[in-house]
Amino acid sequence: MSPALLDFVEFSLAGLCVGALYALTGIGFVVVYKATRIINFAIGEFMMIGAYFFFGLAAQASLPNWAAIILALIAAGTVGGFLERFIFRRLIGESAISVFMVTIGLASIMVGLVEIAWTADPRSLPTFLPDRPFFVPLGSAEAFLASKNGWSFIIVAAIMAAFITVFRFWRGGIALRATAADQQAAYSVGINVPGVFSFAWILGAITAAAAGILVGSISGISSAMGAIGLSLIVVVIVGGLDSLAGALVGGLMIGWLESMASLYIGGEYKQVATFVILLLVLVVKPYGLFGTHDIERL
């Protein structure tokens, strides 16, 4: 096994693990976009508050990790539901661009509130993942995969499987898709459309928060961690804004590409690689790889 090949495999594995976290957050974005057509630019900040809630509950309030995780997710979901009910529901009918601007403002407010509560200093999260690294057999050698990366991949895969099962067999999945396709028609068959909106925001916030806790446990948290949202917007545009499968594939793809870029070109260029891919995809498939609807011109 040549060292170059081993590097490639190890960077690929690490990239796919980061990609899985992109995918999970991307799902949080897509669920909201699908139901409400709102482009949630604050998606990275939703990750951030999830991570800080966990930090506050586990490190500061000294709750057991499992309880802190559950409570942090519930708190994030509450924030999502609250924002939908009192801000975004009032903006129904406003132009896509004004609602998008509101989410940009929201992102700054969330950063501000986090800095007031926890200051801007980076912090590390209590570890709750096992710390034995994975060794993936590879011919005569073994590829190394950091424990936290490997475990977050496994957790994301489990959450995704739950998502897919629920949306296939539960009537609420049909309500979401019906609302996504045609709001008036959804109302006309008795679907509680505002209820679907609330549900989407709550679910989107919980999903992003879960990803935030995992990201934070790998690389620590800070009030600037929401900047990851930029890569995420690329992920969901590449995948097609309204496609859950697209978020999954787009997330893995961008995660892997960024890792490849930092291996072969250098870490500081990985964002460049991301945006080159974005351009290429938009030129070839303007609706994203899996998207069905026009991406609104902003």
Partner 1 sequence: MSVASGETILEINNIEVVYNHTIQVLRGLSLSVEAGQIVALLGSNGAGKTTTLKAVSNMLGLERGAITAGSIRFEGNDIRTTAPHALVRGGLFHVMEGRRIFPDLSVDENLIAATYALAGRDKADADFEAVFDYFPRLRERRTGIAGYLSGGEQQMLALGRALIARPKLILMDEPSLGLSPVLVEEIFRIIRRINEERGVSILLVEQNAAMALSVANYGYIMEQGKIVIDGTVEKLAGDRDVREFYLGAGVGAGGLKSFRDVKHYKRRKRWLS
Burial of 27 (0-12, 13-18, 19+ CB in 10 A): buried
Interatomic CA distance for residues 86 and 78, integer angstroms: 12
Nearer to partner 1, 170 or 264 (CB): 170
Give whole-number Cα distances, 227 to 70, 138, 221, in Å. Answer: 25, 35, 12
Give whole-number Cα distances, 153 to 145, 148, 149, 218, in Å. Answer: 11, 8, 6, 12
Residues in touch with partner 1 (CB under 8 A): 93, 171, 174-175, 177-178, 181-194, 292
Structure tokens at 70: 């559950």
CB of 292 to partner 1, least distance (A): 7
CB of 239 to partner 1, least distance (A): 17
CB of 232 to partner 1, least distance (A): 25
Q: In one letter, which amino acid is 234?
A: V
Nearer to partner 1, 108 or 292 (CB): 292
Give CA torsion, residues 132, 138, 141, 144, to 10 deg: -30
CB of 192 to partner 1, least distance (A): 5
Nearer to partner 1, 15 or 239 (CB): 239
CB of 185 to partner 1, least distance (A): 4
Nearer to partner 1, 178 or 218 (CB): 178
Nearer to partner 1, 7 or 182 (CB): 182
